[in-house]
Amino acid sequence: MSKLHEPLPDFNWQTLLEKLRMPQTQCALVLGEGAFADGSGKLLRDLFREHLEKSAYSKYLISSSVEDSLLMLPDAERTDFCSAARPFYQGQPVADALRRLVEIPFPLIINTTPHTQLAKAFDGTGAVPQYCFYNRSEISTGKIQPPGRGTPLVYNLLGSIEDDNSLVLTHSNLFDYFEAIFHERPLPEELRLLLQGIRYFVFLGVPFGQWYFHLLLRILHIHNFTTANRHASAEGVNDADINFVGELFQIRFVQKNIGSFVDELHQRCSEENLLRTGVTQPNSFVEAVKTHLHTDDPNGNGLVQALEMLESFLSDKGDENLLNELMILSGNFRRTGRKYDGKLITHEQFETELNRSKVALLNFLEDVKSRHETAPLKSNTN
């Protein structure tokens, strides 16, 4: 075993800011229970544990360690337990630290907790997040839309408190979860493709000391992305786990607590006008698509994301006529892209065709809006 990973003397903030600035999804935030606290800094995990210890469900606690949250809960009491647990989380206010965190424009957030504090934290940011969660008991339904600065994807990897059957509460549930996700019900294809494009992972408050989390990292294919930067806060992680995880998954640990790391990154994003507080909130799917078209991107990545969102939307609606029209628009732009990549046209010619394609797609969006009832992006089970 190699020696303990040294603290980073100078964290390269510019690389992280560059990935956050990219119109395509190249940066992901992975959150664990250690990232969720109340206003006094006490973790919600610990508060919930105290809540259980005072309830009728205290007899189902297995370990005296707050980090081991699995229960010895009979299946017959699952529904009642979930109904009793929901009000606890619903009643928790959002800490200012979490509000600052969601203002940082991570387009993809992998949440390894089952609660929905992030949904409350996003209120007022101007963003329209897409909320999805993994359910080991059901085949994925719906499609994940391409995320962006104003339309981030929040994916609950271990289920949602809003869906009883998706929660991993017992060791038996955990076994069923891994059996499902490694075999018959893997992560949605759209999410797997997004993860393959990530070039920067940030881990905050995740339980590196828990054996099952090492399997979750493999589910996210962290071990395969040799070109991706991976950084984590060392808060709450002992030296042995820093050494083991750092070597196995090539994760570098920043010797700062989570609050200090978030505050500095938030300040740097503010200085570069990257915070989500400046995002105008779309009130419909069509407006969410338009946010990608208005991205200042000379390579047309925003247009590509808009086309992908529309293709998924129209496929789900079963609108073959509009879908065929969209395929023509998409084909024309992609041919232009191939010509530019092959140096058959100049950059100026490419920009001219890009602008024409954007205008054509904006006109097309008016047809989509008139034919379909559109609404803000909603949560999906995936």
**16 has pLDDT over 50:** yes
For the chain, what is the mean pLDDT?
A: 84
Q: Which has the higher per-residue pLDDT, 87 or 139?
A: 87
Give the pLDDT band (50/70/90) at residue 295.
low
User: Residue 322, exposed/middle/buried by CB under 10 A (0-12, 13-18, 19+)?
Assistant: middle
Terminal CA-CA length for the chain: 38
Give the pLDDT band (50/70/90) at residue 153.
very high
**297 has pLDDT over 70:** no
Lowest pLDDT segment from 290-294, 349-353, 361-365: 290-294
pLDDT the model gives residue 25: 87
Residues 31 and 316: their CA atoms lie apart, in Å, by 30
Kindly write down the DSSP assignment for every residue of 231-252, as one continuous string. Answer: EEE-TT--HHHHHHHHHHH-PE
Amino acid at 143: K
pLDDT tens sequence across 67-126: 567 888 898 999 999 998 889 988 888 899 999 999 999 999 999 999 989 988 988 787
Pairing between β-strand 252-254 and β-strand 380-381 as defined by DSSP bridges: unpaired
Instruction: Pinpoint the alpha helices (H) of the chain.
Output: 13-21, 44-53, 78-90, 96-103, 117-122, 171-179, 189-196, 211-219, 239-249, 258-271, 285-293, 301-317, 320-341, 347-371
pLDDT the model gives residue 292: 74
**307 has pLDDT over 80:** yes
pLDDT the model gives residue 308: 80
All structural domains of the chain with their residue ranges: 13-271, 285-381
pLDDT the model gives residue 91: 86
